[in-house]
Amino acid sequence: MNLYIRYFDEECIVSSVQEAFDFLSSIPGIIVDDYFMNDLKQYMESPMPYPKRYKVRPRVYFIVIKTMAQTLAEFKENGARQAMTVENPKDAVINRLTEEQIGWYEGEILFKRVIAIPGTNKFQYKDTTFKARVKAHSPMECYTRIIDHLRARRDVDPRSQFPSSKGRNFRYRYLGLKPENAEMPA
């Protein structure tokens, strides 16, 4: 992974923080210190795909863009289309949930269940954990079947709130093609 650095008409592609330091030091008006170098190093090592700009003086910046291009000509030819792309964490979760793997799943949902307060006409939400083993084609189907089951039960109020499948209140694990192979928790 390389960095494209541009300051007005001065631009280059660098592959290390030291090369960036050398390039920026050669430009009059830009002061490069240890804080800046550490920040640039962290940016280069981070998965963040977005461009970063650094302030030189009021209303004057230089820009740094992550890229896979090896040369300046290659970067300009392909432009920002070839800029470093990192998969969005939300997309990764969706991909894992929709990945088809037929078999048994153990799904666990933490949802807000509506409970009547005895002696009053009031209700309260109570965190309730529900765990079930489900035969499904994917984790998303496991989630859907559990939610459908809970909504169909008479002892679960329709006002109960169910979590998103992408959130941390839904967990699952793949048990295999036969539920007998799964170990029961102690």
- The reported pLDDT for the residue numbered 33 is 84
Residue 97 in contact with residue 166, Cβ under 8 Å? yes
pLDDT, averaged in runs of 10, over the chain (186 residues):
88 90 86 85 84 86 88 78 55 83 94 92 94 94 96 93 92 86 52
Q: State how far the Cα of 12 lies from the Cα of 31, in Å rounded to an integer.
A: 18
Look up the pTM and report it. Answer: 0.52
Please indicate, yes or no, whether residues 10 and 34 belong to a single structural domain of this protein: yes
Please indicate, yes or no, whether residues 82 and 98 belong to a single structural domain of this protein: no
Please indicate, yes or no, whether residues 81 and 147 belong to a single structural domain of this protein: no
| Structural domain boundaries, residue 81 | 2-86
Residue 179 in contact with residue 142, Cβ under 8 Å? no
> Which residues are bridge partners to 123 per DSSP?
116
- The reported pLDDT for the residue numbered 84 is 46
Q: State how far the Cα of 131 lies from the Cα of 154, in Å rounded to an integer.
A: 17
**Which of 86, 112, 143 is the last residue before a domain boundary?**
86
Q: State how far the Cα of 68 lies from the Cα of 74, in Å rounded to an integer.
A: 9
Q: Do strands 10-14 and 52-57 pair parallel, antiparallel, or not at all (unpaired)?
A: unpaired
State how far Cα 177 lies from the chain centre: 29
**Which of 86, 101, 116 is the last residue before a domain boundary?**
86
In a domain, 25, yes or no: yes
Please indicate, yes or no, whether residues 50 and 127 belong to a single structural domain of this protein: no
In a domain, 30, yes or no: yes
In a domain, 186, yes or no: no
